[in-house]
Chains A and B, each alone.
Chain A
């Protein structure tokens, strides 16, 4: 399937988010396709996380349409916060890691499978009675969690409180937890922040395997250009809440508007550029 012909996974149209007089995101439109990693980059304060918060239901956009395509289409801007994770199957991670620190690594991954297990436990009734149907569902959930723990190399730490893990492991665990919700779209907010080069290399491999093995569409906010340029299929650049460029990594790297946004303009440079 050629990438250009593939239907979009999420269509963001004319997204605008105002906080009082401040326009954090201004008329941004882009598409992200399934089985692709789409990166959203831009200088600090460009509105990247605001776009994420609109997509995952933490903010209600002032204007715009957020359409998630699948067997069934969902208009995300009309859904309540938790419904987006529950029904539209959009999962996310956070810029500042948000694990359940006192709970164990395994428990974190089981909480992610809450809705599935709730149904299997007959809203706790069958679970209280210890019926075999629920036991099977729980065993399956543990197997899924184990498979992910193996992939992120934390199987031996399954029974440790998540808050005790080293920083890099917490980042990986948060991604695994999001993947345990079996999402269609995975939104990662600066997953490489604070990682050393070795860890960020491992992260690249993990994200590529999520794209290729699990076939999930990934939306990625990232400052670390070594990550962005290496693994993204498509890049959207925001600056001051507006989209200033969009395209493949190679094109973005040489885009003058992007360079200007990142490096700033200088009269001499400007003249030289024009000359």
Chain B
């Protein structure tokens, strides 16, 4: 082992050198605005760079240890780095503490990895392990659902958590909706946010101008979005792959531009404000009820609490998302759902079997759009203010990323991906500017280690022989 030490040190030094050469421009300098007369000047951050390069040197050395079978040195090095990151030592920025500690944590994980896989591998082969495995596959969804149901009553449910949960659930619902179009039918839709916008504006306009309530508008908004889906789909769905993606991308932008420029109808960039929230049996969530209405607190005879509205919103979106999921699960087992998947696999073969590809794609497109419409009206009711700014291309991209990262067509994968993609950036908010870096890193890691998505396994829509875990029956 000692003989290989110089080679390892050399390799680590080389890595550190490359990191330094790249980092000198990325991390070493920062341009600062020093006023209009002198313009930009440089701010030097060589201390940051030095710390980063040292961490990379140590990290690379640790990885070398681990891959050469020196697990304990790797773990020890990682532990030292975690301790250094967590210590009150003065580093140039708070982010560097995270950087050092995370690097250490990754080293510890890498060092302990062989043991973990060994232990898991051995456990998976025992009968108990198999049973736990089967139990997990079968019940994971139900366990998640149970957790989701009791979440508002747990001590962690402060306002921040509930806000984030509502946001994540909105994206879960959107992901499930888009999963029908992209995951099942295989139609790459880059303009999904357009239908979300249609639903949101449908509720915003109908409620503020015609006084309709949330529950009355909800089905209308869904139908309207579905109509838009059919209108767009009819001419467009004969296109395949990339062409379809480009046209849907354009459609998404067109809807946004119309919302932005048709000022008489949509109030343009100023948006629509004071949208009423959803009601519970006609009662509103507010401290004092508007005329002719009743507050929920009065109706139930409980003291008013500003969190009640959030909890109610949480259950509304949870219900909507579950409806989306149930509907999709059911459709997957019906002939139309199987035809969607068959279209994704081979359109030519579908045609030869007498399946009308246009109609089948249209149903997928319209149903996907309908759920986006539902989610859109919920969004408008939750935010109470919407403007075209909420419906930019990046939203479509995020929803698509959720579907793809989750594993195309996998319902539980969408949940995991939504928690990762929406939750992580929020939890990493303390990292400031480096938030997106951490986000990007997480995505790269998923793509490297799970190229088919978090849940790449496809469960057959029907079985002839009962499932047996681990064997092919």
Interface residues of A (CB under 8 A from B): 56-58, 81-87, 91-92, 94, 98-104, 106-107, 110-115, 117-118, 121, 123-124, 127-128, 142, 146, 155-161, 177-178, 181
A128 to B330 Cα, complex, angstroms: 7
B470 within 8 A of A: no
CB distance from A124 to the nearest CB of B (A): 5
A82 touches B356 (CB 8 A): yes
A102: chain B residues at CB < 8 Å are 341, 345, 458
A118: chain B residues at CB < 8 Å are 335-336, 339
B338 touches A111 (CB 8 A): yes
A82 touches B351 (CB 8 A): yes
Known: A83-B354, A114-B335, A118-B336. A100 touches B349 (CB 8 A): yes
Which residues of chain B from 310 to 360 have any CB-CB distance to chain A below 8 Å in the complex? Answer: 327, 330-331, 334-336, 338-339, 341-342, 345-346, 348-357
Known: A102-B345, A121-B335, A128-B331. A82 touches B460 (CB 8 A): no
Known: A99-B346, A102-B341. A160 touches B354 (CB 8 A): no
A84: chain B residues at CB < 8 Å are 354
A98 to B339 Cα, complex, angstroms: 15
Closest to A174 in B: B349
A114 touches B345 (CB 8 A): no
B467: chain A residues at CB < 8 Å are 159
B463 touches A114 (CB 8 A): no
Apart from A124-B331, A161-B458, 12 more pairs, CB < 8 Å = A82-B354, A82-B357, A85-B355, A86-B356, A99-B345, A99-B346, A106-B463, A110-B335, A111-B353, A118-B339, A128-B327, A159-B472
A98: chain B residues at CB < 8 Å are 346, 348-349, 352
B342 touches A111 (CB 8 A): yes
Known: A100-B341, A107-B338. A114 touches B464 (CB 8 A): no
A99 to B358 Cα, complex, angstroms: 20
B336 touches A124 (CB 8 A): yes
B354 touches A114 (CB 8 A): yes
B338: chain A residues at CB < 8 Å are 103, 107, 110-111, 114
- 16 A-B residue pairings within 8 Å (CB atoms): A56-B352, A82-B354, A85-B355, A100-B346, A107-B341, A107-B462, A111-B342, A113-B335, A115-B355, A123-B336, A127-B330, A128-B327, A128-B334, A142-B462, A158-B465, A178-B352
A106 touches B354 (CB 8 A): no
CB distance from B290 to the nearest CB of A (A): 39
A104 touches B460 (CB 8 A): yes
**Smallest CB-CB A-B distances: 10 pairs:** A85-B354, A86-B354, A100-B345, A117-B335, A158-B464, A98-B349, A127-B334, A111-B342, A104-B460, A81-B351
B339 touches A114 (CB 8 A): yes
Which residues of chain B from 429 to 473 have any CB-CB distance to chain A below 8 Å in the complex? Answer: 458, 460-465, 467, 472-473
A107 touches B460 (CB 8 A): yes
B461 touches A91 (CB 8 A): no
Closest to A128 in B: B330
CB distance from B470 to the nearest CB of A (A): 14
Closest to B460 in A: A104
A56 to B353 Cα, complex, angstroms: 10
B353 touches A112 (CB 8 A): yes
Q: Mark B249-269, 1 if CB is under 8 A from A, else 0.
A: 000000000000000000000
CB distance from B368 to the nearest CB of A (A): 15
Closest to A106 in B: B464
A146 touches B353 (CB 8 A): no
Task: Tell me which of B330, B348, B353 contacts A114 (CB under 8 A).
Answer: B353
B341 touches A103 (CB 8 A): yes
A177: chain B residues at CB < 8 Å are 353
Task: Tell me which of B353, B356, B463 contacts A181 (CB under 8 A).
Answer: B353
Q: Mark B352-373, 1 if CB is under 8 A from A, else 0.
A: 1111110000010000000000
B472: chain A residues at CB < 8 Å are 157, 159-160
A87: chain B residues at CB < 8 Å are 354
A107 to B341 Cα, complex, angstroms: 10
A82 to B336 Cα, complex, angstroms: 15
B345 touches A101 (CB 8 A): yes
A159 touches B341 (CB 8 A): no
Which residues of chain B from 353 to 396 have any CB-CB distance to chain A below 8 Å in the complex? Answer: 353-357, 363
